[in-house]
């Protein structure tokens, strides 16, 4: 709680303790935390420093599949979202590979794959897990940049279960990086929150409208945006908290 106290103050941290400590108080504490966050411009649990601490301390034994609703959901997402947007032979950047939940599907499609994560623990896990793949490298970043990625060199940026925890100011910096590293016509596929955290799930302060305004302001284009998809007559949701996937393109 030390870092949370430092970044958000005593009242927010006490409310956070109340949220975890008593189910009867959790909804009241959560709403009060959201009010404080908006009023005072607090980072909540989505600062770069807290994200680093949280994911370095995370138990990655489940490989990130603790966030997979079902094997059917995951295979459909790969079939319906990942594969149609990631051509074979692409030069790919993945932001926040974690323990490689989506990486195992991206590397076979890549002529060159770069995994960039705020967590050194995740970089260590993936570097060991995918050591046999000569086309794949992993490195850390500061939580809002793409170090070591050359200008106009990337066909596809992929990021899932990451931008849901990144605040709007850092998303803006990432979008500058998207514009820098994507080739003309290149795309970024990102999974993000939509309600500034009000739907739960410790989502960031971003809303869909704010994200879309940022994308346009950076000279990029919203190519597609959706919160669910249909596959063989079945409908799947992107996430549990009204999350969406947005496909962003750099004009050719």
Residue 12 has pLDDT above 80, yes or no: no
Query: Based on the structure, what is the number of domains in the chain?
Result: 2
The answer to whether position 51 is within a domain reads: no
Q: Which residue has the higher pLDDT, 9 or 216?
A: 216
Same domain, 40 and 88: no
137 CB-contact burial (10 Å; exposed 0-12 / middle 13-18 / buried 19+): middle
The answer to whether position 98 is within a domain reads: yes
Same domain, 25 and 104: no
Rounded mean pLDDT of the chain?
94
Q: State the Cα–Cα distance between residues 17 and 20, nearest whole angstrom.
A: 5
User: Residue 165: helix, strand or coil by DSSP?
Assistant: helix
Q: How far is CA 81 from CA 142, 233, 244, in A?
A: 28, 16, 12
| Two structure tokens written together for 192 | 């993000």
Q: State the Cα–Cα distance between residues 75 and 45, nearest whole angstrom.
A: 30
The answer to whether position 113 is within a domain reads: yes
Q: State the Cα–Cα distance between residues 100 and 127, nearest whole angstrom.
A: 10
Quick one: average pLDDT of 85-97? 99
Same domain, 128 and 10: no
Q: Establish how many alpha carbons lie within 13 A of residue 207's alpha carbon, considering only the half-sphere containing its beta carbon.
A: 7
Residue 24 has pLDDT above 70, yes or no: no
Same domain, 27 and 143: no
CATH number of domain containing 105: 3.40.50.150
Same domain, 21 and 135: no
Q: Which domain holds residue 111?
A: 65-249
| DSSP state letters, 90-159 | EEEEEE--TTTTTHHHHGGGEEEEEEEES-HHHHHHHHHHTTT-TTEEEEE--SS--TTPPTT-EEEEEE
The answer to whether position 179 is within a domain reads: yes
Q: Which residues pair with 221 in a beta bridge?
A: 249
Cα-Cα-Cα-Cα torsion 84, 180, 146, 190, nearest 10 degrees, comes to -30
Same domain, 25 and 75: no
Same domain, 71 and 184: yes
Same domain, 96 and 24: no
- Report pLDDT for 4: 84
pTM (global) more than 0.85:
yes
Same domain, 100 and 153: yes
Q: Classify the C-alpha dihedral 64-214-145-83 as positive or negative.
A: positive
Per-residue model confidence as pLDDT tens digits over 128-187: 999 999 999 999 999 999 999 999 999 999 999 999 999 999 999 999 999 999 999 999
- Report pLDDT for 23: 57
Q: Which residues pair with 245 in a beta bridge?
A: 191, 226
| DSSP state letters, 218-240 | TT-EEEEEESEEEETTEEEES-S
């Amino acid at each position: 709680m030390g870092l949370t106290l430092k970044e958000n103050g005593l009242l927010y941290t006490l409310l956070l303790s109340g949220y975890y400590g008593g189910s009867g108080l959790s909804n009241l504490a959560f709403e009060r935390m959201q009010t404080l966050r908006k009023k005072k411009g607090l980072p909540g649990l989505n600062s770069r420093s807290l994200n680093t601490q949280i994911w370095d301390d995370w138990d990655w034994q489940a490989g990130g599949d603790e966030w997979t609703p079902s094997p059917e959901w995951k295979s459909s997402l790969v079939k319906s979202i990942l594969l149609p947007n990631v051509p074979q032979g692409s030069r790919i950047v993945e932001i926040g590979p974690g323990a490689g939940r989506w990486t195992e599907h991206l590397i076979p499609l890549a002529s060159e794959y770069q995994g960039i994560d705020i967590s050194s623990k995740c970089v260590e896990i993936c570097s060991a897990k995918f050591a046999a793949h000569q086309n794949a490298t992993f490195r850390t970043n500061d939580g809002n940049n793409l170090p070591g990625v050359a200008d106009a060199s990337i066909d596809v940026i992929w990021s899932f279960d990451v931008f849901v925890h990144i605040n709007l100011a850092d998303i803006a910096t990432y979008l500058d990086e998207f514009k820098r590293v994507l080739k003309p016509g290149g795309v970024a596929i990102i999974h993000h929150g939509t309600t500034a955290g009000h739907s739960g799930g410790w989502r960031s302060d971003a809303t869909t409208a704010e994200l879309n305004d940022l994308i346009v302001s950076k000279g990029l284009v919203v190519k597609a945006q959706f919160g669910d998809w249909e596959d063989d007559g079945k409908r799947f949701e992107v996430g549990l908290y009204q999350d969406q996937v947005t496909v962003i393109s750099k004009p050719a």
